[in-house]
Amino acid sequence: MVFTGKPSRACAHCRRRKLRCDLRKQACGQCVRAGLTCSGYRDPNQLRIRDESNLTRQKVLESRRIIRLNVQTIDLSIEELARATFCSHYVNGLAKTYDVLQSIGKQSPLDKHLAASLDAASLAFFYFRHYSTDAARRAQEKYLSALPLVNKALGSADLVARDSTLLAVLLLDLFEKIMNNNPRSSDSWMSHVNGALALLKVRDVHQFQSYVGLRLSVRLFTNMLISCVAANAPIPPALDKLRQKLDPLLDPLDPKWRVSGLVMDYSNFRGALQTGCLAPSDVVLQAKILDDKFRVLAERLPPSWIRHSVPGSKQSDRVFEQYYDVYPDYFTAQTRNVIRMMRILLHDTIRSAYTELATSDDYPCLDQHIRSSVEMIDSLAQEICAPGPQFTAVENVRDKIDDFSSVRKMHYYTLLFPFYVAGLFASPESGITEWVVSRLRSMASTSGIKNARLVADILTASEKPAPWTIYAVLGSYAFAA
């Protein structure tokens, strides 16, 4: 709405008489005596309100025709998307397993063999996350093109000792762990990590003094250790030597480092079991000693690692025993679950040894010892179930994340193996297996994680694979280490 015309000032005399002084060509007498210059009232036809909404609307529409926004889309290749996805998880995101890429990339452009290995691992991870068959095909192509480049670097006196070469071999190993669905029957599943361990002999003696060198060495130790455990292979002497070199450089109280040392003891113990040189009574004794070390470690964790039990506000199938445990972060819960799984495996060994002893005349009454191991397994399995709701979304849980976010899906995925161990070894009377199967199927339906349903189906099948077989099928330390 707009005003047209402008009212003028008039004297009181003119207003009373409704005179139009300006039309008389001169001011009236009253105006003159008052010392005013009076123009009287303007023509009423000159003062009016007009609705110009349509005109304004037309002007806006016209301006839209003249001024157009030029919106451009960014067209990224699948390789670029894969690298961004890889970095969002392994470099800057949840895992940070390969955060050294940031430091190596800042120094200079990536070496060709490292760039090719990174593309292979990135496309493999992109395939895993999005089930992209195109990414899987390209990942295989990149892997095959990276192999000769890495082999060439291994034969180069200038490149063989570089951090980029060790990282490239570790990334090829990561590719194998993600893409190889039948790992323990394949030589390639161990070949890259064995090659990475051999590189330590030619690397500079000062390799442990830089952040990148130390970080890569710790990563190599962890990958080699878990590969040996999952493949049921003995610990090589070179890994023992690497541990001895790393010990003085790392925090001796770091819980994850201490856990890895006990896992080495577990692997050596299992190797002794396979030789058949241990009597059942010796098996029980050594297993109990190792279990006690894990128990003491769990009890002496830093105060920041303490969990808090929260009662469920209402009946929920997401919560076992109507309470759940809340941890400071995901890594705390994951490390504690590793301790629990190790203890479950040890108590299963103890239970089997006691069962074997009970059949002999020398040990007729061992039922109580067998029941004690069964009860311990159930208790540890229940503890594995307890932190599940914090990371799989339940009402009133702190830091709740959307079920469909990438972080939530990774939380889901890394719970698959602990849930499998809990469901596999828990007694039928505990009800844990049924609850685990229900949760796994719920994960599969809400988050689209196919392997959650696969693990649930395995737990309900008559024949169940050994736990480390499932761990390898799920991607090994590519997602949980």
Q: How far apart are CA 373 and CA 156, in angstroms?
A: 55
Are 284 and 265 in a shared domain?
yes
Residue 300's alpha-carbon distances to 13, 293, 294, 481, in angstroms, are 102, 11, 10, 21
Are 469 and 376 in a shared domain?
yes
Of 434, 336, 422, 344, the closest CA to residue 385 belongs to: 422
Are 86 and 223 in a shared domain?
yes
Are 181 and 230 in a shared domain?
yes
How much is the average pLDDT of 68-77?
Answer: 64
Assess if residue 347 is contained within a domain. yes
Assess if residue 73 is contained within a domain. no
pLDDT of residue 2: 42
Are 264 and 281 in a shared domain?
yes
What range defines the domain where residue 103 resides?
80-250
pLDDT band at 453 (very low <50, low <70, confident <90, very high): very high
Assess if residue 72 is contained within a domain. no
pLDDT of residue 343: 98
**Tokens describing residue 380:** 């540890």
Q: How far apart are CA 332 and CA 72, in angstroms?
A: 44
**Cβ atoms of 311 and 322 closer than 8 Å:** yes
Q: How far apart are CA 379 and CA 432, in angstroms?
A: 10
Assess if residue 15 is contained within a domain. yes
Choose the weakest-confidence range: 14-23, 59-68, 223-232, 352-361: 14-23
Q: What is the pTM of this model?
A: 0.81
Q: Considering the chain, what percentage of its residues have pLDDT values greater than 70?
A: 79
Has residue 272 got a pLDDT over 60? Answer: yes
Are 285 and 410 in a shared domain?
yes
> 120 versus 229: which is more confidently predicted?
120
Give the end-to-end CA distance of the chain in Å, rounded to a whole number. Answer: 70
pLDDT of residue 306: 86
Are 226 and 94 in a shared domain?
yes
How much is the average pLDDT of 418-429?
Answer: 97
Residues 6 or more apart in contact with residue 110 via CB below 8 angstroms: 104, 118, 164
**Tokens describing residue 464:** 């169940």
Total count of domains within the chain:
3
Q: How far apart are CA 48 and CA 25, in angstroms?
A: 25
Q: How far apart are CA 456 and CA 122, in angstroms?
A: 28
pLDDT of residue 396: 47
Specify the amino acid at residue 338: V
Per-residue 3-state assignment (H helix, E strand, C coil) for 316-385: CCCCHHHEEEECCCHHHHHHHHHHHHHHHHHHHHHHHHHHHHHCCCCCCCCHHHHHHHHHHHHHHHHHHH
**Cβ atoms of 159 and 111 closer than 8 Å:** yes
| Residues 153-186 pLDDT 10s | 999 999 999 999 999 999 999 999 999 876 665 6
Assess if residue 299 is contained within a domain. yes
Are 290 and 428 in a shared domain?
yes
Are 9 and 148 in a shared domain?
no
Choose the weakest-confidence range: 118-127, 219-228, 312-321, 339-348: 312-321
> 187 versus 454: which is more confidently predicted?
454
Instruction: DSSP letter for 480, please.
Output: -
Q: In this structure, what are the phi and psi dihedrals at residue 311, rounded to the nearest 5 degrees? A: -70, 145
Has residue 421 got a pLDDT over 60? Answer: yes
Has residue 479 got a pLDDT over 80? Answer: yes
Assess if residue 71 is contained within a domain. no
Assess if residue 316 is contained within a domain. yes
Residue that is last in its domain, among 213, 231, 250: 250
Are 296 and 441 in a shared domain?
yes
Q: How far apart are CA 459 and CA 116, in angstroms?
A: 39
Choose the weakest-confidence range: 23-27, 89-93, 125-129: 23-27
Most confident of 169-173, 180-184, 232-236, 364-368: 169-173
How much is the average pLDDT of 63-90?
Answer: 76
pLDDT of residue 63: 59
Are 108 and 241 in a shared domain?
yes
Specify the amino acid at residue 358: A
Helix (H) or strand (E) segment spanning residue 55: helix 53-66
Has residue 99 got a pLDDT over 50? Answer: yes
Residue that is last in its domain, among 219, 250, 281: 250
How much is the average pLDDT of 421-439?
Answer: 96
Residue that is last in its domain, among 38, 66, 94: 66
Assess if residue 408 is contained within a domain. yes
Mean pLDDT score of the chain, rounded to an integer? 84
pLDDT band at 40 (very low <50, low <70, confident <90, very high): low
Q: Considering the chain, what percentage of its residues have pLDDT values greater than 90?
A: 56
pLDDT of residue 185: 59
Q: How far apart are CA 182 and CA 192, in angstroms?
A: 16
pLDDT of residue 415: 92
| Residues 12-37 pLDDT 10s | 555 555 444 444 444 455 555 555 55
Beta strands in 200-334 (DSSP E): 308-311, 323-326
Placement of tokens 């060509």 in the chain: 25
Q: How far apart are CA 111 and CA 189, in angstroms?
A: 24
Are 388 and 335 in a shared domain?
yes
Q: How far apart are CA 398 and CA 387, in angstroms?
A: 12
Has residue 402 got a pLDDT over 90? Answer: no
pLDDT of residue 178: 94
3-class secondary structure, 109 = coil
Strands 308-311 and 323-326: antiparallel
